Structure 1
Amino acid sequence: MRGEILSYDPMTGDGLISGDDLLRYAFTSTTADLEPGRRVDFVVQDDRAVSLMVLREGPLPPVVHAPEPDLGLWGYFVRCLTTKYIDGNGRARRKEYWSFALFQFLILMLSFMPILGLAIADAETGQGIEAWAVAWICIVALVYFGLVIPGVCVTIRRFHDVGLSGWLILIGLIPYVGGLFVFIVSLLPSQPCVNVHGAPPKGMGQISL
């Protein structure tokens, strides 16, 4: 097992290790160079760390996360429909979420316009073009349901970006209150630090839109 020294008291030899298995192990050792931050190899025995061996000569260097490039409104929308279509892992900055919401709205509105035109033409000419209207409604329905999955996924990633569980998206099913909750979360800024879902979209310590 390997891990990182969290604390160490050289007077008593007692310390604490954060293991790579995400568990913490107490230890007692007089091994040299056990100050916090050093990587060590150890054996787990009775829920304690024994037989410690230092793997590094110094503390871990700070983790540097390269900033994610700004893809622009259309770029984020395309990514949501391609590589991120069924991907709820990771994080999505506000700009990515609202880029998808914008183009989703525009596509659906443009899809409904021919239906309105067919209805007006049918009312004025009386030529019976209901079949065309029904066919177009089916096409619009396919477009709508095709956008549901990436919409859910980008919302889950938006929840991750502010440090919330993606399961909280289910609150959105509650009438009135749920929609308001999702809207508020969509407006929150990204967590500027790494969380359990990954690095911040704009890099460590940078605020993203």
Structure 2
Amino acid sequence: MKGRILDFSIQTNTGIITGEDHKRYNFVGNEWKETQAPVRGYEVDFEINAEGQATGVYLEIAANPTPATMNKPAQSNSSYTSPTTHESSHKTTGVFSKWEQGEDNYQQAIFTCFKKFADFKGRARRREFWYFELFCVLLSLLLSFMNEDLATLAMLITLIPNIAVNVRRLHDINRSGWWMLIALVPIVGVLLLLFWAAQEGNPSANQYGESPKA
């Protein structure tokens, strides 16, 4: 079956594919049969096992070199590109692509959290939570060097969206937002919340809504 990669997590070594039948199929990293890492948006071919999971995942055959291409006569030395140069160029392009994708995700997470300024419903994936927390920490550090009053003002402005994204992150792992109150327990409470925030969310819908990865 043909499909497209919706998401892939390096941390859990799992991903999701949407098939041409418009259904979603989970797959694990060892079912990816290509040398480069799977990236969201890749067009792929795959099989489906008895458990409804994708297996034997390859890049779409149409994207691979055809025999006619491979059998073309060698070009003159003036236009020859060595395999090493081509591989290096491919890796460089991949690095920039991942960097741009990470930058887009970072900006999108900040935009989403401010857009859902006081939204305590729904779910937030790990990427949204951690990117916004990083933004808040960096902003606080930067402003603290400039002016303490500005740093305090920034903390007050980001307080509500910060609490909201924490609640939505708890919802993503099927926990009530009231667990936020455990932060009142010195040290242990905060560490427990951070541990939960690092957990993979439920892949399917739960009582708090659809998966944010959908």
Instruction: Please classify the TM superposition score into its range, dividing by the shorter chain length.
Output: 0.5 to 0.7
**Which amino acid in 2 is paired with 1:162?**
I
**Which one of the candidate residues 107, 114, 119 is aligned to 1:87?**
119
Higher normalized helix content (fraction of residues) = 2
- The whole-number CA distance in structure 1 between the counterparts of 2:107 and 2:134 is 10
Report the Cα offset of residue 64 of structure 1.
6.6
Whether 1:159 and 2:170 are equivalent positions in the alignment is yes
* Match of residue 109 from structure 1: 141
**Which amino acid in 2 is paired with 1:90?**
G
Larger radius of gyration: 1
Structure 1: 4+ residue segments shifted above 3 A: none
1:16-165 matches, within 5 Å, as: 72-81=105-114, 83-114=115-146, 136-165=147-176
Report the Cα offset of residue 155 of structure 1.
0.3
Report the Cα offset of residue 138 of structure 1.
2.0
- The whole-number CA distance in structure 1 between the counterparts of 2:206 and 2:160 is 24
Q: Is the 8 A contact 2:144 2:150 kept in 1?
A: no
Whether 1:182 and 2:214 are equivalent positions in the alignment is no
- The whole-number CA distance in structure 1 between the counterparts of 2:213 and 2:159 is 26
The Cα RMSD (Å) is 2.1
- The whole-number CA distance in structure 2 between the counterparts of 1:197 and 1:98 is 20
Q: Which runs of 5+ in 1 are unaligned?
A: 1-62, 115-135, 204-209
Report the Cα offset of residue 161 of structure 1.
0.1
**Which amino acid in 1 is paired with 2:180?**
I
Q: Is the 8 A contact 2:203 2:211 kept in 1?
A: yes
**Which amino acid in 2 is paired with 1:93?**
R
Report the Cα offset of residue 172 of structure 1.
1.1
Q: Which runs of 5+ in 2 are unaligned?
A: 1-21, 25-40, 42-100
Say which SS state the counterpart of residue 208 (structure 2) adopts: coil
Q: 1:90–1:137: structure 2 CA closer, same or farther, 3 Å change rule?
A: same
- The whole-number CA distance in structure 2 between the counterparts of 1:156 and 1:179 is 14
**Which amino acid in 1 is paired with 2:141?**
M
TM-score, scaled to structure 1: 0.52
TM-score, scaled to structure 2: 0.51
**Which amino acid in 2 is paired with 1:98?**
W
* Match of residue 12 from structure 2: none
* Match of residue 36 from structure 1: none
> How many residues matched?
116
Report the Cα offset of residue 137 of structure 1.
2.1
